[in-house]
Chain A
Amino acid sequence: EAGVAQSPRYKIIEKRQSVAFWCNPISGHATLYWYQQILGQGPKLLIQFQNNGVVDDSQLPKDRFSAERLKGVDSTLKIQPAKLEDSAVYLCASSQDRGPGYGYTFGSGTRLTVV
């Protein structure tokens, strides 16, 4: 079974620039999550999709972050404009079910550095 694919693996941008991350979940997984993990902290949920609908985006900074999951498969997360405090690893995860009834499978993440 192929895992969760993410790209790019690393990205360095200047503040106020924009950046986009891509995620392709495990085939058949209806639920997709984007997490932000700052160094030394636990992952923080940014947005949760069920198929192509948003279930929870309460912690997404909507003034600068946006995400979409067209056709209920792969997803993109965008930051525009980026701030220094956005430096983190952005993890995508997928699961078969909406809630934590099933373990999440995480991708390798995108490490973003904003300078």
Chain B
Amino acid sequence: GQQVMQIPQYQHVQEGEDFTTYCNSSTTLSNIQWYKQRPGGHPVFLIQLVKSGEVKKQKRLTFQFGEAKKNSSLHITATQTTDVGTYFCLLGSSASKIIFGSGTRLSIRP
């Protein structure tokens, strides 16, 4: 069945540094979504990627979908304390279940 790996599990950065989380699938995806979950909160939808090689930006956040549609990344430029939380990918495949990655927990030193 489909497997997903999200790395790193944790990242602790100095405020102002960049942050990247990666999501890798064992199978080709139809799309991928990214969510942010603040401590004690619920997941909030950030974006969906559908096309091979797609790149989307939201202010300081850059999302990429791999050419083979098996991996994706979320990059935050110049982190701020408001970026603290856990970032999850959600894999969508026509052949397999819809599953969440294990998440990357971002903490920031002011």
A-B residue pairs in contact (CB < 8 Å), sample of 13: A41-B103, A42-B100, A42-B101, A42-B103, A43-B100, A100-B48, A103-B45, A103-B47, A104-B45, A104-B90, A107-B42, A108-B42, A109-B42
Main secondary structure, interface of A, reads: loop
A101 touches B31 (CB 8 A): yes
Main secondary structure, interface of B, reads: strand
Q: List chain B residues, Cβ under 8 A from A100.
A: 30-31, 33, 48, 90, 92, 98
Map CB proximity to B onto A41-53 as digits: 1 under 8 Å, 0 otherwise. 1111100100000
**A24 CB, min distance to chain B CBs, angstroms:** 15
Q: List chain A residues, Cβ under 8 A from B98.
A: 45, 48, 99-100
Measured CA separation A99–B99 after assembly (Å): 11
Binding site for B on A (CB under 8 A): 41-45, 48, 56, 58, 91, 93, 99-109
Binding site for A on B (CB under 8 A): 6, 30-31, 33, 35, 41-45, 47-48, 88, 90, 92, 94, 97-103
Q: List chain A residues, Cβ under 8 A from B97.
A: 45, 56, 58
Among B30, B31, B43, B44, the most chain A Cβ lie within 10 Å of the Cβ of B43
